[in-house]
Chain A
Amino acid sequence: MPSTEFPPRRARTGRSRGLRALGAGAAAVVLASGLAACGSDDGGVPVLNWYINPDSGGQAEIASRCTDAAEGRYTISTSVLPREASAQREQLVRRLAANDASIDIMSLDPPFIPEFAQAGFLAPVPDDVAQRVTEDVVDSAIAGSTWDDELVTVPFWANTQLLWYRTSVAEAAGLDMSQPVTWDQIVQAAQDQDVLIGVQGIRAEALTVWFNALIESAGGSIIAENSTDPEEIQLGLTSEAGVRAAEVMRDISNSGQVGPALSTANEDSTATGFESDQGGFMVNYPFVYPRGLAAVEAGTLDQATVDDYAATVYPRVDADTEAAPPYGGINLGVGAFSEHPELAYEATECITSTENQAYYFTSNGNPASDSTVYEDPEVLEAFPQAPVILESLELAAPRPQTPYYSEVSGGLQREYHPTASIDPEQTPQDATELIEAVLRKEQLL
C-alpha cells in the first residue's frame, strides 16, 4: 500500500489574485458584448454552468430534470468540453487558473482530481453533502473522489473495464469462465482458437489504464511513495510487480493474437476487432455492449454475434492474486470561483441521485457509482452484465493519485510504447529515470 504524506493545500495570495483579477477584467471587457445575451441571472434565477464531457445526451437531460426539480431556485445550463479527457483537463485548468467564475460544476475524469484539488480549483465539499453523496457508493468511486483524505468531488458514474469474451470461443478453448482467469490462459486460448485479444496499445491514456491494471493486479503500484513534492515521489515500476506487469504486457503484445495495429489500438478499434469474425477476447468498458446492439439495429452486425458476447471480471496476472480492474468514470467538482457553490452542491446531489444514475446507466451506458442502482430491474434488463460491473468496481484500483499525473502518465506512455518492444529488465528502469527527471524538471516530455 503506498504511503502518503501531504502538506496542507495552499491558499492563493492576494497578489496573484490581483493579477488574475486584472487579467480576468481585461478578458471580461473583450467578452462582455458577446456574452451579454447569455447573462447568468436572467429573472433573478441563478444559472449554474455545468461543463460536461461529451456523451449521448444523458447529462443534458439530467440537467433539465434537475432544473425542473429545483422549482425555480436555479437552472442548470450545460456546456460540452472536448472529447479527450486530457483536453477537458487542459481547458478547465487554464480557465480556473484565471479564476473563471462561470465554472459552477465540472464533470471530471478521476486521475486529474488531485491536481485540481491541490491547486485550489475545487470548492470544499460541505460535510453534510459529503456524507449524503457517499452513501452506498462503491469504494473505488469514493477513492477516486478523494484527495488528501478528504472528499473533494461528488462521485457520479463509475466506469470499469471487463474481460469480454465470445462464449463459443471460450467453450471451444475449454476455459471455465465462471472461475477467475489469468492473462496466460487468455493468450493460450486465443492462440489455440486463432482469435484476437483486444487490448489498448496506443500511446495515449488507454495505455496507462492497461499498465496500471496490470501492476495493481500484480500487487504493486505505479507510485510506491506518494508526495505533493514532485521530487519526493517514489515510483514502483522496477518493483517485482512492475517487472511482472511489463512481462505480461510484452507477452500479450507478441502473442500474435493482437491484430496488426496494436500500437494504435484504442477502445473503439479493439471493439471493432471484437465484433469481427476473429473476435475472441477483449478488455474494454461496458459501452461495447450497447455499441454491439446498435450495430445489430443498424444491420451491420449479426444478432448471433452479440448473443455470443459475455463478460467477466478483468483477467488476473497471477492465478492466486485477485485482479485490480481499471477504474474510470466521472466525478463532479464545484468550481472554487463559482458564485453559487451552495446551489452547485445542491445540484450535484440531484444529478447523482439514484434515479438519475439509473437513467444515465440505461440510456447512455455509463455505470452508476451508487451500488443500489445495480438492483434496479430496468438496469438489469438493459445491462445483463450489471452484476459483473459492480463486482469489478468493488475490486477496481484508481490510477496514480498525484497532482503530477500528466507527467507520470506521459512518461510511462513514452517508454512503454510500443508495447511489443518492452524489455522487462530495462523499460521499467528507463521509465523510472525519465519520469523522475521530468518531475525534477530536468527533462522534456
Chain B
Amino acid sequence: MSTTTLPPAGKRTEPVSAPDRHTSDRAKSERKLGWLLAGPALAVMLLVTAYPIAQAFYDSLFDYRLTDPENRSFTGLSNYLVILTDSLWWTAVGVTALITVVTVAVELVLGFALALVMNKALQAIRPVLRAAILIPYAVITVVSAFAWQFAFDINTGFVNSWFAWLPGVDTTTDWFGDFGTSLFVICLAEIWKTTPFISLLLLAGLAQVPEVLQEAAKVDGATWWQRMRRVTLPNMKAAIMVALLFRTLDAFRVFDSIFIMTAGANGTESVSFLAYRQTISRLEIGLGSAVSVLLFLFVVLIAFLFIKGFKVDLAQARGER
C-alpha cells in the first residue's frame, strides 16, 4: 500500500530566482520593455513633480522678490528661520491641523455610513445612489466654497433665517465674523465636498470583505455590531488607512474654502494660505517657496507616519496582494 504525503501547509516551494549574472535573455528583454513602458511616465512625473519641488527648494534659499530680480541674493536657510520663529506660522499650522483632524474624522464616520448604504442598497437604485452621493465631489472647490459662503452670509444667506430656532443663531449671526464660526463653516464645506471621496474608497474596501466570513459569523450568532467589529472592520483596515492617508494629505493642504470665505481673516489662515500670501501677494518668491517646502515636508511626514507607523500597505489596498 502506498501512501501520499502532501507537502506541509504554508510551505510552498518557490522557484529560486537566479542570480543577476544568470538572468535569461527573456528576463533582460522584459526588464528593458518595462523601463521602456514606464520610462516616459517616470520622466513626466519627474518633470511635473520633482523639478518644481527642487526649484522651490532652490528658490527658498534666496532673498528673491519677483519685481526685483536683480537684487536676488543667496541667504541660505534664513527664510526658514524667519518662518519657524514667527508665531503666525505656528498658528497656521495649528489651524491646519485642527481643520484636518475635524474634517477627516467626521468624513470617515459619514463616509463609512454612506459606503454601507451604497453597499446594501438595492441593485436597481445603486447606480443612481452612487451618482447622487458623488455630486458634491464633482463640484469645483471654489464653486462649493462660494455656495457655502452665500448660504451663511448675513445679507444673502438663508441659514440664519432657516435655523433661527437653534440656540445662538438668529438673523444677526455673522458666521464669518469670528474664528470659531468661520472655521465651522469652512469645515462644513470641506466635509460636504470630500465625504463622497472617502465613501467611495471605503465602498471598495467593503466589497473586499469575504461574504463567507459574514455568513459564518451570522451562523455563529454574532450580532450586527459584533460582525462589524470582528469581521468587517478588520478586513477593511487597509482600505480605511488608505482613505485616511489620502484625505489627510488632501485636508492638510486646505486653501480654496479659506481663500473664498474669510481670506484668512479672524486667524483662519492655513499653511497653504500663508504660502499663497507670501508668494503671490507679497511676490516674495524666496520666503513663499520656503513656506511651500515646509508644507511639503509636513505632507511627507504625514505620509511616512501612515505608511511606516500604521503599516499602510498601498498595494494590499489595491488588491494586488
Contacts and interface: CB of A to CB of B under 8 A. Distances in A.
A263 B174 contact: yes
Contacts of A418: 177, 266
Interface residues of A, number: 35
A410 B63 CA distance: 20
Contacts of B274: 444
A90 interface: yes
A381 interface: no
A441 B60 CA distance: 13
Contacts of A443: 82, 86, 88
A95 to B, nearest CB: 11
Contacts of B155: 261, 269, 272
A360 to B, nearest CB: 28
Contacts of A438: 282
A370 interface: no
B283 to A, nearest CB: 6
Nearest to A90: B280
Interface string B271-313: 0001001101111100100010000000000000000000000
Nearest to B286: A441
A261 to B, nearest CB: 4
B68 A406 contact: no
Contact of B277 (A93, A263, A417, A445): A445
A94 B265 contact: no
B83 interface: yes
Contacts of A119: 67-68
B172 interface: yes
B83 A444 contact: yes
Given A261-B177, A406-B281, A443-B82, A16 B154 contact: no
B154 A444 contact: no
B265 A203 contact: yes
A388 interface: no
A92 B86 CA distance: 30
Contact of B67 (A115, A261, A417, A444): A115
B263 interface: yes
Contacts of B67: 93, 97, 115, 118-119, 121, 403
Nearest to A119: B67
- Listed residue (A10, A16, A269, A444) with the most chain B CB atoms within 10 angstroms of its CB: A444
A175 B39 CA distance: 79
B158 to A, nearest CB: 15
Nearest to B285: A97
Interface in A394-441: 403, 406-407, 410, 417-418, 438, 441
B154 A264 contact: yes
B8 interface: no
A445 B91 CA distance: 12
A263 B265 contact: yes
A442 B291 CA distance: 14
A204 interface: yes
Interface in A245-263: 260-263
Contacts of A202: 265
A444 B174 contact: no
Contacts of B102: none
Interface residues of B, number: 32
B287 A90 contact: no
B70 interface: yes
A442 B282 contact: no
Given A443-B86, A445-B282, A13 B70 contact: yes
A93 B287 CA distance: 18
Interface in A367-410: 403, 406-407, 410
Contact of A444 (B63, B172, B263, B278): B278
Interface string B152-190: 001100000000000000001110110000000000000
Nearest to A438: B282
B146 interface: no
B66 interface: yes
A16 B70 contact: yes
Given A407-B282, A410-B281, A444-B88, A261 B70 contact: no
Contacts of A203: 263-266
A444 B83 CA distance: 7
A188 interface: no
Chain A CB within 10 A, most for which of B67, B68, B70, B89: B67
A441 B79 CA distance: 9
Contacts of B173: 260
Contacts of B280: 90, 94
A373 to B, nearest CB: 33
A90 B70 contact: no
B177 A444 contact: no
A445 B278 contact: yes
A153 B281 CA distance: 22
Contacts of B277: 410, 444-445
Contacts of A4: none
Interface of A: 10, 12-13, 16, 86, 90, 93-94, 97, 115, 118-119, 121, 202-204, 260-264, 269, 272, 403, 406-407, 410, 417-418, 438, 441-445
Given A86-B281, A261-B172, 20 more contacts: A90-B280, A93-B67, A93-B283, A94-B280, A119-B68, A203-B263, A260-B174, A261-B177, A263-B174, A263-B265, A269-B154, A269-B155, A406-B283, A407-B282, A410-B277, A441-B82, A441-B287, A444-B83, A444-B274, A444-B291
8 contacts: A118-B67, A264-B177, A410-B281, A410-B282, A417-B265, A441-B63, A444-B277, A444-B291
Ranked 6 nearest A-B pairs via Cβ:
A260-B172, A119-B67, A203-B265, A261-B174, A261-B154, A263-B177
